[in-house]
A and B are shown apart, each in its own frame.
Chain A
Amino acid sequence: MAGSTYIADADVLACTELLEGLTILFQAQSGRTHILAPPAPEILEALAGRAGDADAVLERIGARFELDAEDAAGAIAARLAELEGAGLVHRP
């Protein structure tokens, strides 16, 4: 169940600041600031300029991290929906 395909702008992480484990991200296009907790920044990195579905995101971040989740596919799908709601990823 790969679900929808998403993509983030290639420069989505261009303006970020790390603060006590959280990533503060300024999105110039919308003028909004987002506070992201892991794994949201990692998902954005995986989708920056590269479209992919939940399976692709899992594969990309799984190449860099040991993933810790009871329901990895469900968690990624939920994060993607959340990032879409925040306007940080969109469907190509």
Chain B
Amino acid sequence: MSERDEDQETGGRAVPTRRAVLALGAVAASTVVTIRPALAQTAGSVLHCQIPIPTAQQAGNYIAPDGQVVPAGTPGAFAPPPRPLTGEEAKALIGHGPTPPGIDPDAGQAYVNYIRRLQAGMSGFTCYASLQMPR
């Protein structure tokens, strides 16, 4: 780890300087997802949760290859998928599995990068977080 005490920016995200930056998040954001012991029964429903790409507030925008939401028509960026991805489809895409029906294969990686950028409080985050659990 670096001990440098200088300001750096990488794509707008703060990087640790001498003291790491801890974002406390918005009051309305959510940071805890609890999985109960009866998960075996709910695993199926986790896979059917949905991840809108992008969020409803950003509908119509495109997704850049690195997952950022950019204005529609941005060169190199992809149109959003015609429907939200299900958890199962997102899991398949993240695991380099088959591209879900109706999804542009070239856009798949951009969508994966978008999903990886989801933060607590954003629509789809809980679904994504649920997919990360050990099975």
List residues of chain A with CB under 8 Å of any chain B CB: 17, 19-20, 22, 24, 31-40, 42, 61, 64-72, 74-79, 82-83, 85-88
Inter-chain CA distance A42–B27, complex, in Å, is 16
Residues on A with beta carbons closer than 8 Å to the beta carbon of B19: 64-66
Residues on A with beta carbons closer than 8 Å to the beta carbon of B27: 71, 74-75, 77-78
A-B contact pairs, 27 of them (CB 8 A): A19-B132, A20-B132, A24-B132, A33-B133, A34-B32, A35-B33, A36-B32, A37-B25, A37-B31, A37-B119, A37-B125, A40-B31, A64-B22, A65-B22, A68-B23, A68-B24, A69-B24, A70-B26, A72-B24, A75-B27, A76-B24, A78-B27, A78-B29, A79-B25, A86-B34, A87-B34, A88-B32
Residues on A with beta carbons closer than 8 Å to the beta carbon of B26: 70, 75
Residues on A with beta carbons closer than 8 Å to the beta carbon of B34: 32-35, 86-87
Whether A82 and B32, one on each chain, are in contact in the complex, defined by CB atoms closer than 8 angstroms, is: yes
